[in-house]
Amino acid sequence: MYNFTLYMTTDCNFKCQYCYEDYHNHYQLNEKTLVDSLEFMMNYGDRGKVLIDFLGGEPLLKKDLIYKAVAYIKDNYPEREVKYYITTNCSMMDDRFIAFMKENHFTVRLSFDGNKETHDLNRVAKDGVSCYEKIFENIMKVKDSGLNFSVRMTVTENTIPYMFENICYLHEHGLDNICMIMDVYLKICDELKAEFEKQVGQILRYYLAEAAAGRVFTIDQFDGKMFNMLCDFGNCFGMCDAGIGNFKIFPNGQIYPCGFLTSNEKYCIGNIKEGVDIRKAKLIAMSNFDKTDPKCKGCTIRDFCHGMKCGYMNFINTGKINVPSDAECIFEHIFYKAMVQILEYYLQQPIEIVREKLGVYIDYIQEEDLKFSEFGEKIAKRLSDEK
């Protein structure tokens, strides 16, 4: 399976304070490059399942080309399994596009930071006018359509104090699949660390109280980390497949391993006409690996740490793919402590709940002959004792 991100444009109708996509030149995908990009994707590798993520800038600025892309694949590759994703600020969403996404089983990632006060702190439209009400209305339409969606709530220095408030806000509005995206360039001082820890503590208590009341909702930093908590991967750096099975296709047809590298041509690993140079992709990663491993040597939560996978997020901060930023390290330790409490909570729950929440991971670890972590062993034992 290959994972392609297709940049529809590097332009956006917003100028969010924390956006890392800082392009000097704006590129727009045109119809010819779209078709060439689709041909490249559909004929790459083993021609198996393909994941296509429409991204920008703001991809809905090129809505017409998204319609054309899906129609082209349906017409020319009707037998192929293709899964579509889109990441959007939702300001330009409309009923026709929602119906189109439904028909084609899109998964939607909505960039949305929570209530109006928080949202307007960082997510401002280029014309300076807040269009919060319109975005909120569109987000509700996406939710009500039954589409598979998640909310990407970016957390920055000025929104850390409102994290809990915004998690409550999203959950109260039925936006129950939440991913907190930490600002990659965040520098963290002691005061901010204490505030972050306080906010995560409040979120954790709320998350568990809602679970206990049967109003379960999903926070990626918790639910998405269950597997990491239950499986022992050997506690080492294990970078994602950027540039190997995961490619970013720019509007000009150039290909990059990761979105964090697309603003520098030096990291271009090919193009849609000539193909990808996998050796170069590997070389970029290997030549920026620090063998001395100064920060993480001996850390006991490496299996859990996001920094042990997201190499280019580390790279843009520290210059090394295996050296996460200080902020990332602090966040991961705090999230880890929360996860310990979540698993301890589940260990106390009736067996049906344990099975429903964690059984799938335990089964997978056993089926794939992987190793259990300490938590994994405890939960597997409970499940087998109380069959």
Binding site for ligand SF4 (CB under 6 A): 240, 242, 246, 258-260, 295-296, 299, 301-302, 305, 307-313, 324, 328-329, 332-333
Please, what is the minimum distance in Å from the beta carbon of residue 294 to ligand SF4?
Answer: 10
Could you give the 3-state DSSP secondary structure of residue 36?
helix
Query: Between residues 176 and 183, which has the closer beta carbon with respect to ligand SF4?
Result: 183
Please, what is the minimum distance in Å from the beta carbon of residue 194 to ligand SF4?
Answer: 18
Query: Between residues 253 and 259, which has the closer beta carbon with respect to ligand SF4?
Result: 259
Please, what is the minimum distance in Å from the beta carbon of residue 200 to ligand SF4?
Answer: 15
Query: Between residues 192 and 216, which has the closer beta carbon with respect to ligand SF4?
Result: 192
Host H or E run for residue 249: strand 246-249
Taking CA atoms, 318 is separated from 111, 126, 289, 326, 348, in Å, by: 26, 31, 11, 9, 41
Query: Between residues 73 and 258, which has the closer beta carbon with respect to ligand SF4?
Result: 258
Please, what is the minimum distance in Å from the beta carbon of residue 87 to ligand SF4?
Answer: 12
Query: Between residues 56 and 259, which has the closer beta carbon with respect to ligand SF4?
Result: 259
Please, what is the minimum distance in Å from the beta carbon of residue 235 to ligand SF4?
Answer: 9
Number of other residues whose CB lies within 10 A of the CB of residue 48? 10
Distance (Å, rounded) from C-alpha 224 to C-alpha 376?
15
Distance (Å, rounded) from C-alpha 374 to C-alpha 188?
31
Query: Between residues 138 and 322, which has the closer beta carbon with respect to ligand SF4?
Result: 322
Write out the DSSP string of 189-236: -HHHHHHHHHHHHHHHHHHHHHHHTT---EEHHHHTTHHHHHEE--SS
Distance (Å, rounded) from C-alpha 40 to C-alpha 13?
29
Please, what is the minimum distance in Å from the beta carbon of residue 323 to ligand SF4?
Answer: 8
